[in-house]
Chain A
Amino acid sequence: MSNVLEVKNIEKYYGNKSNLTKAIAGISFNVEKGEFVGIMGASGSGKTTLLNCISTIDRVTAGKIIINNQDITKLKGNKLNKFRREELGFIFQDFNLLDTLTAYENIALALTIQKVNPHEIDKRVKEVAKKLEIEDILNKYPYQISGGQKQRVASSRAIITNPKIVLADEPTGALDSKSARQLLESFENLNKKLGATILMVTHDAFTASYADRIIFIKDGKIFNELVKGNDTRKQFFEKIIEVQTLLGGDLNDVI
């Protein structure tokens, strides 16, 4: 399988000479087409910075990020915007739905700003709504629907453009456990049935257990990597917890 995302030895520094913070200190990994990858780490580990760099919101200090054979660290200005619009899909923790627009319009907006033919838009919105089972709430406003529904609307918006990779930042962070489970099931659905490539950042072990592979980050470096392989989710979850315990701190830290 071909690599959709190649992260090659990237570094990201903040601050100036006298006070340098290394948010990312050399990370490399690949994501294959159709993969569902989770990134885990405690707060301050650099996972959000990593996601921001991949999603072109932030720039790396060194290294290369190649998405679909294109080095995005070299893109600038409008090309960057175009790339983000057409090749990436985003799902945010706080949904980021426009409260003035209906669910239908929120999903359609992702296509209209790409100047897609209006007749095609209608067809595609209905198609994706069917897959995520939100057809009956399409004409409702965000304040009229539940958190889980909101996140599914946001997911629909993220995948309707057929992005090369979907980037999800703590997608279950604002959801109760039932809604979170529903959302993650629909992620699985997207990944398995529609072949969407998903890169998800989370600190929650349960959420992470839905992924195929998990990359653990600590202090700006890759700390560990877990592959689900043929494990059941329960087994995988237990493995995650184990790593997390390790991640929590070395014995040396506790004196």
Chain B
Amino acid sequence: MLFKLSIKNMKKSFKDYAIYFLTLVLGVAIFYMFNSLDSQQAMLDISASTRNIIKLMIQMLNFVSVFISVILGLLIVYANNFLINRRKREFGIYMTLGMGKRQISKIILFETILVGLLSLVAGLIIGIFASQFMSILVAKLFEADMTEFVFVFSKDACIKTCIYFAIMYLAVMIFNTITISRYKLINLLTAIKKNEKVKIKNPILSILIFLIAVGILAYCYWKVTGGVQTLSTADKMLPIILLGIISTILIFWSLSGFILKVVQMRKSLYLKGTNMFVLRQINNKINTTVISMSVICLMLFMTISVLSSSLSLRKTMQEDLKEMTPVDLNLYKTANLPEKSVNAYGREIQYTELQREDSRKLVSETLKEYGFDMNNLKDVVEIPIYAINDVTMQVSLGEYFDEAKAQYSMLSYDSVETIIKISDYNKIARLYGLPEYELENDEYIMLCDFDSMKPLRDNALKLGTKLTILGKEYKPKYDESKEGYILMSTSHTNTGIVLVPDSCPLTEEYKEQYFLAANYNAETEEKIEEIEKNFVDEDSSLVNAMEKDGILLDGFTKIAIREASVGIATIVVFIAIYLGIVFLIASAAILALKQLTESSDNKQRYIILRKIGCDEKMINGALFRQIFIFFMLPLALAIIHSIFGIQFAISVMSGLASSEQLLPSVIATVIIIGVVYGLYFLSTYVGSKNIIKEEE
């Protein structure tokens, strides 16, 4: 009997349930989509050589998912609360008929389970199909190879989604039972009659506050764009953020009063159709929703900024990468191995005779010895890298050391500097297409391109710090460090290389490493991959043979670096999209529910409109405009915020992203927001229309 009642209730109030249902379905779908990422076709292809990074991403997504489920859980409880409140009177009638609170709780329990199951199924179906679409998108975005399309269903993600949502529904049930047990019959029956008192703000005050808020906001905007140099540290940004939040609240506090006053002055606009009514409606409601409007606006702002900047970050990283990987292969190994040494963990390591003998050979010789055909490589450049025990970072910083130590105490200042002969470096520079340098016999050059390290190096050089190497003194040729590196990586990470003249008496014993840079001697993709396999594949005979003898050859390949970096970019972008969409759903749902709650209060007003002769077209038009303005206000301010926020993000990424790169990501963001926000807007409009149409 109770179950039947539940089903009837559901059918009857289906339109009320629309927003609730939409939120649940979207939540489930998004949750499934992101948790099934690992098993998707595109990911499988990317992950071939970057398994670790993919693992890291899955871990992070798992972690974020917990956070997301908390947000979704709160949202569901909030939405559910709206439904319960709308039905107070119904419950009151049940109670007058003698139904106990326990039985009412049971009815709601059935309903929750029913809606939960329906939304879970619908959400999973949508999620499964959307994830197919997403894997195509992923493949496109990350230039992954997706030769054939395979329909993927992730059982793990499906089970995980079910469990998480089951927990959320359980929370809702407990919450409902508590709410019901607190109800008093008299309050339930008279719930509808309570009327909100109309609060009217002083229009002059509104205008004044509005102008002040606009002024503060303009100042913030200027600070993050024109005056961005003044924001060098995080603590200087805090006041700007606070001012931004305050001015946002003030704008929502005063906006409706301001608009009302301005429109009232234009009689032809004000006294036209239902304009007057719509404006008053907004003015009346916005007073009670200042805080939620501000929160929604800021949430939307975050969503827009995070989505667009993270999408463009991916592009930036990819372009940076091309510049940082000029050749196909970098290999290096330690030279002059001693009989034994102590490793970083304090353990003593014995080296075999074979290892020590090999450590006196060039990289190419080792390769040949283990059966690698050197014809596979072209443009081979091999250089030795030197190090001297008493030339440490502390020494090379000279008089600046104390100051540096005070500022950055964490750096290991006693690590030895990398020293390269100028002619050796120039060979590499020529291959990489980097600037070449010249040196007099008593000069040295410092190369450094790591942003955090460069100021230290520059400061030491400005002081004219001299270096003594093997008894001979060298003075700096330039008073700043120069651009250059020898080891490829995902970004500029060279912390310092000392270039010395060829005349420097660096003998065999000071050789620290042998370094090799080369391109693959191959024209086709297949051939490149074949050569690459020699170095990266687990089953490679070359790697296995060397491993057996304990020969350690380190290195990077262009392909591996690019794939690793794609992985990092993927993590950032996916987590940003994940969070962004959930924030978006949350804001839209809260806004929608607020609107619907108010629509039931507004019912009376629309009935009056109908009585004085407004036709349905006029009434629906007024309702549409009212809801449209309500949805657009926070979005509009969020968009304005974002225009400046994204510019700030660009300047923080110091020229890594340009506005041209931003355009496609902004378009993508607009589409995502448009779809989610639009759905909520439409269901709110339909729901409200339904509410005001109800018979008296």
Is A bound to B?
yes
Residues of A within 8 A of B (CB): 78, 81-82, 84-86, 88, 90, 92, 96-101, 105, 108-113, 115, 118-119, 121-122, 141, 143, 157
9 contacts between A and B (CB under 8 A): A81-B614, A90-B612, A92-B611, A100-B284, A108-B271, A110-B612, A112-B272, A115-B272, A121-B267
A121 to B272, CA, bound (A): 10
Q: Among A78, A113, A122, which residue has its beta carbon within 8 angstroms of that of B612?
A: A113
B605 at the interface (CB under 8 A from A): yes
Given A78-B617, A105-B276, A113-B613, also A98-B271 (CB < 8 A)? no
* Residue of B274, B613, B617 with most chain A CB atoms under a 10 A cut-off: B613
Closest CB-CB distance, B193 to chain A, in whole Å? 13
Q: Is the CB of B615 within 8 A of A109?
A: no
Instruction: Mark contacts of B597-629 with chain A using CB atoms, 8 A cut-off: 1 yes-contact digit, 0 otherwise.
Output: 000000001001101111111100000000000
Residues of B within 8 A of A105 (CB): 276, 280
Q: Is the CB of B613 within 8 A of A119?
A: no
Residues of B within 8 A of A98 (CB): 277, 280, 605, 608-609
Instruction: Apart from A85-B613, A85-B614, A109-B277, list 14 A-B contacts with CB within 8 A.
Output: A90-B612, A97-B608, A98-B608, A101-B276, A108-B271, A110-B613, A112-B272, A112-B276, A113-B273, A113-B613, A115-B273, A119-B267, A122-B267, A157-B612
Q: Is the CB of B271 within 8 A of A122?
A: yes
Given A99-B198, A143-B198, also A112-B271 (CB < 8 A)? yes
Q: Is the CB of B280 within 8 A of A78?
A: no
Q: Please give me the residue from chain B that is nearest to A120 by CB atom.
A: B271
Within 245-304 of B, Cβ neighbours of A (below 8 Å) are at 267-268, 270-277, 280-281, 283-284
Q: Among A82, A85, A90, A113, which residue has its beta carbon within 8 angstroms of that of B274?
A: A113
Residues of A within 8 A of B273 (CB): 112-113, 115
Q: Is the CB of A96 within 8 A of B280?
A: no
B155 at the interface (CB under 8 A from A): no
Closest CB-CB distance, B256 to chain A, in whole Å? 11
Q: Is the CB of A96 within 8 A of B200?
A: no
* Residue of B270, B271, B281, B612 with most chain A CB atoms under a 10 A cut-off: B612
Q: Is the CB of A100 within 8 A of B280?
A: yes
Closest CB-CB distance, A67 to chain B, in whole Å? 14
Residues of B within 8 A of A109 (CB): 274, 276-277, 612
B472 at the interface (CB under 8 A from A): no
Q: Is the interface of A mostly helix, strand, loop or mixed?
A: helix
Q: Among B200, B270, B280, B611, which residue has its beta carbon within 8 angstroms of that of A90?
A: B611
> How many A-B residue contacts, CB cutoff 8 Å?
79
- Closest CB pairs A-B (n = 10): A85-B613, A81-B615, A118-B271, A100-B280, A100-B284, A96-B608, A118-B268, A84-B613, A118-B267, A121-B271
Q: Is the CB of A96 within 8 A of B198?
A: no
A168 to B617, CA, bound (A): 26
Residues of A within 8 A of B605 (CB): 98-100
Q: Is the CB of B198 within 8 A of A100?
A: yes
Residues of B within 8 A of A90 (CB): 611-612
Q: Is the CB of A141 within 8 A of B198?
A: yes
* Residue of A100, A119, A122, A157 with most chain B CB atoms under a 10 A cut-off: A100
B197 at the interface (CB under 8 A from A): yes
Residues of A within 8 A of B271 (CB): 108, 111-112, 118, 121-122
Q: Is the CB of B276 within 8 A of A96?
A: no
Residues of A within 8 A of B614 (CB): 81, 85, 113
Closest CB-CB distance, B69 to chain A, in whole Å? 40
Closest CB-CB distance, A176 to chain B, in whole Å? 21
Closest CB-CB distance, A154 to chain B, in whole Å? 10
Q: Please give me the residue from chain A that is nearest to B284 by CB atom.
A: A100
Within 154-203 of B, Cβ neighbours of A (below 8 Å) are at 197-198, 200
A62 to B267, CA, bound (A): 46
A227 to B613, CA, bound (A): 32
A21 to B281, CA, bound (A): 41
Residues of B within 8 A of A84 (CB): 613
Q: Please give me the residue from chain A that is nearest to B275 by CB atom.
A: A112
Q: Is the CB of B281 within 8 A of A88?
A: no
Given A96-B608, A118-B267, A122-B267, also A101-B277 (CB < 8 A)? yes
Residues of A within 8 A of B268 (CB): 118-119
Q: Please give me the residue from chain B that is nearest to A92 by CB atom.
A: B611
Given A97-B608, A100-B283, also A88-B613 (CB < 8 A)? yes
* Residue of A85, A86, A115 with most chain B CB atoms under a 10 A cut-off: A85
Q: Among A78, A110, A111, A118, which residue has its beta carbon within 8 angstroms of that of B615?
A: A78
A211 to B615, CA, bound (A): 32
A175 to B605, CA, bound (A): 21
Q: Please give me the residue from chain B that is nearest to A108 by CB atom.
A: B271
Residues of B within 8 A of A118 (CB): 267-268, 270-272
* Residue of A110, A112, A115 with most chain B CB atoms under a 10 A cut-off: A112
A157 to B613, CA, bound (A): 12
Closest CB-CB distance, B279 to chain A, in whole Å? 9
Given A109-B276, A113-B618, also A100-B612 (CB < 8 A)? no
A99 to B197, CA, bound (A): 9
